Amino acid sequence: MSLKCDSEWLYRAIRHANTRLYTVTETLDPVLVNGSPYAEHAIDLATPEDDATHCDEMCTAPIHNYARFLSWSQSVEEVACAFEAALDANSEKQESETCMVFDSEYHINETSTIHWGTAGGAMIIDLYTPTYGLGCRTGSYLLYGWVGTLSWILLVISTFLCHYSITTTHSYKTAHIARQLSIALRSIGQVFSFCNAIWIVLSCVFQFSNFYDRCWCNSSVIGLGAKAYNVIEITWDEVPFMRAWWIIGVAIAAGSASIYVFFINLSINPRLPQEIDIDSAAR
């Protein structure tokens, strides 16, 4: 899933696909695209330079997948439509047909699951550890969760605006406004994400250096206000209740992380077509 190997795999898969692409000529005869006059119809990866609109989309690191889930889905639709048009032409149906279907469902909830699952589990543990209520520790996790979600929303909106700016049939002015707004929202979202990453690291440092171990934080003043109090010693009567919520918090965090790892493993190291062909030939 690293930037280097992901990029190499992608370009290798494209080169392999181009060696096996066929096109239908005017005589309805399939012709191998590679080395033919129809080579311009092969699959290619556009790499625009100095384009602020697509800079994140061109980065192959998985963290930038938010910027290309629309364009990638559309590309899949276009390739599928090309195969469908070739089948129609081979069946002597209408020879030229415009096919631009874009009706895919996007599943982008895994990130929010791991984000709020881990932060929520930590919040539950701190909320139900005496003194009960919203304190410094819980507040830091809550702030991390909300800022991360805000950053994610801004980045996703910027992706939709970017896609709109390059596919819209409206005026140039409308597309230009959408493009500039997309760049602005993406920049703001990345700044929030950067600051949020620094904040969660600082929060962990504060946690392990006992910075939060002070009267104001231990009294949950943020949540209780004027009714804040400080627990000097936890009684045995409170231990079962506290332990139950600790188990729930750990279960939520571990469960969400396990679900995320499961979905990631479904996408790691997909097999190339030639590898499948070699296995089939060996059998």
Instruction: Express each pLDDT in 1-60 by its tens digit.
Output: 444 446 677 777 777 777 777 766 666 666 776 665 555 556 676 665 556 777 777 776
Residue range 212-221: mean pLDDT, rounded: 86
Mean pLDDT of 237-265: 86
Asked if residue 270 has pLDDT above 70, the reply is no
Give the pLDDT confidence score for residue 150 in this predicted structure: 93
| pLDDT over 90, % of the chain | 13
- Return the structure tokens found at 125: 């543990």
Amino acid at 236: W
Please, are residues 92 and 107 in contact by the beta-carbon 8 Å criterion? no
Average pLDDT on 95-116 reads 54
Separation of alpha carbons 46 and 43, rounded Å? 10
Q: What is the mean pLDDT of the chain?
A: 76
Question: To the nearest whole percent, how much of the chain has pLDDT over 70?
Answer: 71
Q: What share of the chain is helix, strand, coil (3-state, %, to 5)?
A: 65, 0, 30
pLDDT exceeds 80 at position 242: yes
Q: Does the pLDDT of residue 192 top 90, yes or no?
A: yes
Helix (H, G, I), strand (E, B) or coil at 124: helix
Angle between helices 110-127 and 136-167 (to 10 degrees): 170
pLDDT, mean of residues 252-266:
82
User: Does this model's pTM top 0.75?
Assistant: no
CA 107 from chain centre, in angstroms, equals: 9
Amino acid at residue number 97: E
Q: How many residues in the chain?
A: 283
- Partners of 31 in beta bridges: 23
- Whether the CA torsion 257, 67, 57, 12 is positive or negative: it is positive
Least confident span in 21-25, 40-44, 77-81, 165-169 = 40-44
- Look at residue 55 in the predicted model and tell me its pLDDT: 75
pLDDT at 260 over 90: no
- pLDDT score at 198: 95
